[in-house]
């Protein structure tokens, strides 16, 4: 029964709790047992929420009393350690914040609780949520459940590893350029970076540059992402970017009323892509065509004119560097790799910054033009499967690139603010997950949930879990 619990999705657990097939206490205890059994090898969990069992008992009492309950009632969830949790350590992956206990929940955490979710634990991340590997001086390095010699990604790598390993059914991560979609791809789970502003960033660090940061759900099924999004989205009166509601159209997972038009793109525009990843993207496109959608290969000229990763680097360094300098001042002995790297980078000149802003606008226009003719876009998430720890240079399809290139296919959505889902559709020759990215137009989460749900129904890798 425990195996059945730990690899169930959150929606399924919630239904079984509502019908009294499972008790919230049983579900929370199963996940705590799983953490105790496997986390010493994975190091995804940095803090357990001490109130989880007590909250589970209250949730069970509500069910027995016949109370009206939320859609995630009694379901445990985990949270990346850059997201504030009231009364529970939130240390941001740095000794500078060791012992920090917030006095209020982030809006996203509060909304998960309002839906009935039970905070189970906080998960590991890079220092200040800033890198593609989850490693820091405070809580160490997280490992990939599929192969502990490889990374589960960053910056939401602890979260992705926890969900993939059955330590949590659903959780929250944050995304500046790659950080919920890349880790999901490296561990074979699903994640959503919604349209910018859909989910408030209140109570999350860092906020700079706010126009690129997102918070989003990570889980094991597309229906879980849709459920979480419906609870998370909407204004909170504190984050000025958060103005749109989270209303979703009905019919997710059903055949649409009209034939959806989907393009797929591997190259050019994202940098080099490994042939196994490229083949997985094409396989996903073929599967969607087989499900009755209109599918064709496409190109987006704006991605070829302005390489999004270069644009992002010229923009975000100018805005994040002062934040890093301020928070590390007087704590230089507690800095780790990426804060040192950030502070060593040359400043972006105002001329370069303005040019990059104009390039960003061209990218937004380019996607807008694409979505005049298509409903969704299928792309890679990462250019290659999960890589060994500490690797900072890669040979991808014959081209040598540095580690920042792992963000080539994800960062365009941070620049443009467009929504994207990361979901598994393949397996590498080494047995590692390969995900694809389903991209939508502005506020088109309903459409990409629909496309992703249809693709999930045809997935050759459903139900696969790492052996631990």
Residues classed as catalytic = 80, 155, 179
Q: What CA–CA distance (Å, rounded) separates 151 from 387? A: 6
Axis-axis angle for helices 337-344, 308-328 (nearest 10) = 110
Q: Output the furthest CA–CA distance in the chain (Å, rounded).
A: 65
Helix (H, G, I), strand (E, B), or coil: what is residue 216? strand
Q: What is the dihedral of CA 266, 306, 181, 297, to 10 degrees?
A: -20
Beta bridge partners of 379: 437
Among 327, 366, 134, 108, which residue's Cα sits nearest to residue 234? 108
Phi, psi of 232 (to 5 degrees): -85, -30
Of 264, 106, 82, which is closest to residue 180 (Cα–Cα)?
A: 82
* 227 Cβ contact list (under 8 Å, min separation 6): 10, 11, 71, 72
Sign of CA dihedral 66, 70, 75, 79: negative
């Amino acid at each position: 029964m425990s195996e059945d619990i730990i690899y169930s999705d959150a929606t399924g657990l919630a239904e079984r709790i509502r019908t009294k097939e499972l008790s919230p206490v049983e579900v929370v205890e199963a996940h705590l047992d799983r953490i105790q059994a496997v986390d010493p090898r994975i190091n995804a969990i940095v803090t357990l929420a001490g109130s989880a069992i007590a909250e589970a008992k209250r949730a069970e009492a509500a069910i027995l009393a016949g109370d009206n309950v939320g859609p995630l009632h009694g379901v445990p969830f985990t949270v990346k350690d850059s997201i504030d949790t009231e009364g529970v350590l939130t240390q941001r992956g740095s000794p500078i914040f060791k012992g920090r206990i917030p006095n209020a929940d982030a809006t996203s955490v509060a909304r998960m609780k309002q839906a009935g979710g039970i905070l189970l634990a906080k998960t590991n991340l890079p220092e200040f949520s800033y890198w593609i590997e989850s490693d820091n001086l405070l809580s160490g390095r997280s490992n990939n459940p599929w192969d502990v010699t490889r990374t589960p990604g960053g910056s939401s790598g602890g979260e992705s590893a926890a969900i993939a390993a059955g330590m949590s059914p659903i959780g929250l991560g944050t995304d500046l350029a790659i950080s919920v979609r890349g880790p999901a791809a490296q561990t074979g789970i699903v994640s959503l970076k919604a349209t910018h502003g859909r989910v408030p960033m209140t109570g999350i660090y860092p906020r700079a540059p706010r126009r690129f940061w997102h918070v989003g759900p990570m889980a094991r099924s597309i229906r879980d992402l849709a459920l979480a999004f419906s609870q998370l989205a909407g204004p909170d009166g504190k984050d000025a970017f958060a103005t749109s509601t989270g209303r979703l159209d009905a019919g997710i997972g059903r055949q649409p009323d009209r034939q959806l038009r989907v393009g797929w793109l591997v190259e050019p525009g994202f940098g080099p892509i490994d042939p196994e990843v490229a083949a997985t993207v094409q396989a996903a496109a073929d599967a969607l065509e087989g499900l009755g959608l209109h599918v064709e290969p496409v190109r987006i000229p704006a991605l070829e004119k302005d390489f999004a990763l270069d644009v992002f680097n010229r923009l975000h360094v100018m805005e994040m560097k002062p934040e890093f300098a301020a928070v590390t001042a007087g704590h230089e002995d507690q800095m780790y790799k990426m804060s040192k790297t950030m502070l060593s980078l040359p400043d972006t000149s105002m001329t370069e910054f303005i040019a990059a802003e104009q390039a960003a606008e061209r990218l937004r226009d380019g996607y807008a033009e694409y979505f005049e003719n298509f409903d969704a876009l299928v792309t890679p998430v990462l250019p290659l499967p999960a890589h060994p720890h500490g690797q900072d240079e890669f040979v991808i399809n014959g081209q040598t690139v540095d580690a920042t290139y792992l963000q080539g296919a994800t960062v365009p959505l941070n620049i443009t603010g467009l929504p994207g889902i990361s979901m598994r559709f393949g397996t590498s020759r080494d047995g590692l997950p390969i995900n694809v990215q389903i991209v939508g137009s502005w506020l088109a989460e309903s459409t990409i949930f629909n496309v992703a749900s249809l693709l999930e129904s045809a997935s050759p890798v459903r139900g696969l879990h790492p052996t631990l």
